[in-house]
Amino acid sequence: MVHDRKKFDVDIGLSNAAIDWVVKLSSERATLDDHAQFNLWRQQSNEHELAALEAESLWHGIGATERRTHKAQRNGRFTRRAILGVSLIGATGLAFQRVGFFGPRLYADYVTSTAQQKTVRLDDGSTVVMNGNSAFSTELNRRERRIFLFEGQALFQVAKDASRPFIVEANGGETRAVGTEFDIDIRPRQVVITVSEGIVDVSSGVRTTEADGHSVRAHANQRVTYRPDSAPSAPEEIDADVETAWRRGKLIFNAKPLGDVVTALSRYRSGKILIADNQLSSLEVTGVFDLAQPETVLETIEKTLPVSVTRMPFVTILR
């Protein structure tokens, strides 16, 4: 979630205090006296009230369902009541993502959790290397090999089979290859395809063909991006080894927007990371980081950028 803090413009000290209050009041141990004390606190000035509104807005943005599921995960089990609650929310049409193993993971053949990487060998001889918090399913038949990447990031090492194209569907688009190696990264606003070896054809939106100009061909050390409702971008020259450094236990950022850095970092640390100001998302981050120490990314952001980091039990706020 990205929240526009400009409409609040709150002092950091008051903002942190308000967040502490909201976290405390969301606990099952919160008393009526606690709520009364918070009301007195927020009535001290207009600035206190604005801080309270900001904290409540951020907190509600996390989602009550996700908070309940995190609690169940900490207890080491999903209770019947927690599962029932998630089922009811799904029945009423309220969308949510990354809630334990629900959502798209319900349909996946393979899943990974936070900070977990997994290598999957498919029946056709192809290999899929999954990054953290990822999920996909397969449909292999005599005509084609189709993969459905529901969320996260994966590197595909495709076994050659000219009679059966290898196709990956991800968030409204398709990436097609015969024998190659490429990475697909589902981000909040776009899907990023990085080609390490060979050639891929990328299409998105309404299914199209290369003849009508809506399919883009990318070669090794090129990157293509797309959104579900638009055609793919033109190929961009990149260093594929840098983009796929996660396979070697590293995160390498070269003037990467903070919003994309947060997406990448979320795969290696527990809890939600929220950006409280849209303008912060475009700040650029540069550095080489060890995946075994994801907190160093946040520490570097706080030291090198005009960003304050507020850490709580299962949410971190950048503002």
Instruction: For residues 14 and 126, state if they share a domain.
Output: no
Q: Confirm whether 163 is domain-assigned.
A: yes
Instruction: For residues 132 and 205, state if they share a domain.
Output: yes
Instruction: For residues 204 and 154, state if they share a domain.
Output: yes
Q: Confirm whether 92 is domain-assigned.
A: no
Instruction: For residues 108 and 125, state if they share a domain.
Output: yes
pLDDT of 53? 85
Task: Give the domain range for residue 285.
Answer: 249-319
Cα–Cα–Cα angle for 274, 248, 108, rounded to 5 degrees:
60
Q: What CATH code is carried by the domain that includes residue 304?
A: 3.55.50.30
Number of separate domains in the chain = 3
Is 80 or 12 the better-scoring residue by pLDDT?
12
Instruction: For residues 236 and 253, state if they share a domain.
Output: no
Count CA within 13 A, CB hemisphere, residue 117: 16
Phi, psi of 17 (to 5 degrees): -65, -40
Please give the helix or strand (H or E) that residue 245 lies within, else none: none
pLDDT band at 81 (very low <50, low <70, confident <90, very high): very low
pTM, whole model, 2 decimals?
A: 0.70
Whether residue 100 is predicted with pLDDT greater than 70 in this model: the reply is: no
Beta strands in the chain, from DSSP E residues, in sequence order: 110-111, 118-121, 127-130, 135-140, 145-151, 153-157, 166-170, 173-177, 181-186, 191-197, 199-204, 215-219, 222-226, 236-237, 250-257, 272-275, 284-290, 309-311, 315-318
Instruction: For residues 129 and 16, state if they share a domain.
Output: no
Q: How far is CA 14 from CA 18, 267, 292, 317, in A?
A: 6, 30, 33, 14
pLDDT band at 207 (very low <50, low <70, confident <90, very high): low
Instruction: For residues 116 and 222, state if they share a domain.
Output: yes
What average pLDDT does this structure show over 92-103? 41
Residues 6+ apart with CB under 8 A from 108: 135, 136, 137, 150
Instruction: For residues 147 and 227, state if they share a domain.
Output: yes
Q: Can you tell me the distance from the alpha carbon of 263 to that of 265, in angstroms, rounded to the nearest whole number?
A: 6
Whether residue 163 is predicted with pLDDT greater than 80 in this model: the reply is: yes
pLDDT of 103? 63
Whether residue 106 is predicted with pLDDT greater than 50 in this model: the reply is: yes
For the segment 36-69, what is each residue's pLDDT rounded down to a tens digit?
A: 899 999 999 888 888 888 777 766 655 443 444 4
Q: Can you tell me the distance from the alpha carbon of 248 to that of 200, in angstroms, rounded to the nearest whole number?
A: 23
Whether residue 184 is predicted with pLDDT greater than 60 in this model: the reply is: yes
pLDDT of 47? 87
Q: Confirm whether 67 is domain-assigned.
A: no
For the segment 122-153, what is each residue's pLDDT rounded down to a tens digit?
A: 999 999 999 999 999 999 999 999 999 999 99
**Single residue among 243, 261, 277 that ends a domain in this structure:** 243
Instruction: For residues 108 and 238, state if they share a domain.
Output: yes
